[in-house]
Amino acid sequence: MEQKKVVIIGGGFAGINLAQKLAKDNLFHITIVDKNNYNFFPPLLYQVATGFLDPSNICYPFRKFFQEKSNLRFNLGLFQEVFPAENRILTDTGDVYYDYLIFATGTETNYFGMENVKKYAVPMKTVKDALALRNHILWNKEKATKIADVNERKKLLSIVVAGAGPTGVEISGMLAEMHKNIFKRDYPELNRDEVQIYLVDALPNVLNPMTKKSQQDTLGELKGLGINVLLDHAVKDFQNGVVTFANGHAIQTETLIWTSGVTGIALPGLPKEAIGKGRRVLVDSYNRVKGFTNIFAIGDICLMTTDEKFPDGHPQVAQVAIQQGRTLAKNFRALIEGKTLHDFHYNDRGSMAIIGVNKAVADLSGMHFNGFIAYMMWLVVHLFSLIRYRNQVKTLYNWIVALFTRDQSLRFILDAKPDK
């Protein structure tokens, strides 16, 4: 039987898991198309941004990953448009033809139409973003050492994190730990009291999807770290070094870290009726795109409403993407053999978030954990979620050093610009 050409756009959690499973079957010739030549682990971007991990700890080149897989190829290119009638996609590096096409493109930062926020805030979606944030924070520290005016120093040293989900909580906690344990030694010229970290959110709770107990524990830990938590504070604008809120409040700062929302990446060539809320692609229970038989979507980009436990769609988290990738691989084999396809049902294994050293919360299998136990759970889960042993070993080493020294020597200012 002639191999079927399977093209996967996006090499994140969903795409890489689908590719790994399909590559075991010579019925398929798989091509991953991605604008980066590496896979990376988004949950640890904030540790790259704060200098606790090197980018190589959470990244791995696709071509090295595929070396032992004869039916798996990589195509470096940015998706531009799909032409379903021709079974063809256009990228910025050329055309790619397919028998089956899978969108696993994930999401991009949502600025909710606020152009100044889009222009001046620093997002947290890509490795470039993480490096740009690290540069920005370190540059502001250096500038502050040379400024005598107290108000100007406070403006440079104050940081506002918008979005009290896991990413916002984790980066706020990490920054607070750094100011407590590191910056007082790195920058003896500065007064620690001038450093203010604000975690703001339009909602009345931190970690909104998690249990009330996790929310309460997290709020207490954040305040204990000296973080100013401002809930019911929806960002309205950010310009001239001032973050303004819908309730009229304002904070002077040169740093707004934006973790407040995502939206689906635009996919030109798909009809409007195939696109749903949040610019996510509408799919059936087999992840087939509405109106097509050979185009699929998995992970954060897709909106499936057929799962009875998630009638409004699945949460945009890694486990959904991983499970959909693996289930679709099984369905491709069934499709080729003319067998019955399997409906996708998400197995929710729980949620967790780290707040600081020895501080974390976890909601797993109906049970709540906090403190050191939850912290160790978080470390283990994230360590073994990394794509290769090399990444796991390097990350573990850096974590051990940081745990015992409360420090890390990766605070380099490198040239990088954020993806907008």
Average pLDDT over residues 366-395: 89
User: For 382, what's the count of Cα atoms within 13 Å in the CB-facing half-sphere?
Assistant: 23
Q: How confident is the model at residue 334 (pLDDT cuts 50, 70, 90)?
A: very high
pLDDT tens digit string along 270-317? Answer: 999 999 999 999 999 999 999 999 999 999 999 999 999 999 999 999
User: What are the helix and strand counts (H, E) for the chain?
Assistant: 13, 25
Domain 4-35+77-109+262-337 and domain 115-260+350-405, same fold? Reply is yes
pLDDT of residue 399: 83
Residue 33: count other Cβ atoms within 10 Å of its Cβ. 25
> Is the pLDDT assigned to residue 420 strictly greater than 70?
no
How far apart (Å, rounded) are the C-alpha atoms in residues 134 and 151?
23
Residues in the chain: 420
Name the CATH superfamily for 4-35+77-109+262-337: FAD/NAD(P)-binding domain (3.50.50.60)
Average pLDDT over residues 258-279: 96
pLDDT of residue 255: 97
pLDDT of residue 419: 61
SS3 call for 310: coil
**What backbone phi and psi angles, to 5 degrees, belong to 255?**
-135, 110
Residue indicated by tokens 């607070």 = 176
How far apart (Å, rounded) are the C-alpha atoms in residues 264 and 380?
30
Average pLDDT over residues 181-191: 85
Q: What is the CATH number of domain 115-260+350-405?
A: 3.50.50.100
> Is the pLDDT assigned to residue 416 strictly greater than 60?
no
pLDDT tens digit string along 29-85? Answer: 999 999 999 999 999 999 999 988 899 999 999 999 999 889 999 999 999 999 999
- Identify the DSSP state of 197: E
SS3 call for 102: strand
pLDDT of residue 300: 97
pLDDT of residue 331: 96
Tell me what percent of the chain is helix, strand and coil, each rounded to the nearest 5. Answer: 40, 25, 40
Q: What's this model's pTM, rounded to 2 decimal places?
A: 0.92
> Is the pLDDT assigned to residue 115 strictly greater than 90?
yes
- Residue 269 zone, left/alpha/beta (φ > 0; ψ -120 to 50; rest): left
Average pLDDT over residues 368-396: 89
pLDDT of residue 417: 56
Q: So where are the chain's domains?
A: 4-35+77-109+262-337, 115-260+350-405
pLDDT of residue 78: 97
How far apart (Å, rounded) are the C-alpha atoms in residues 7 and 101?
5
Distance, first Cα to last Cα, the chain: 44
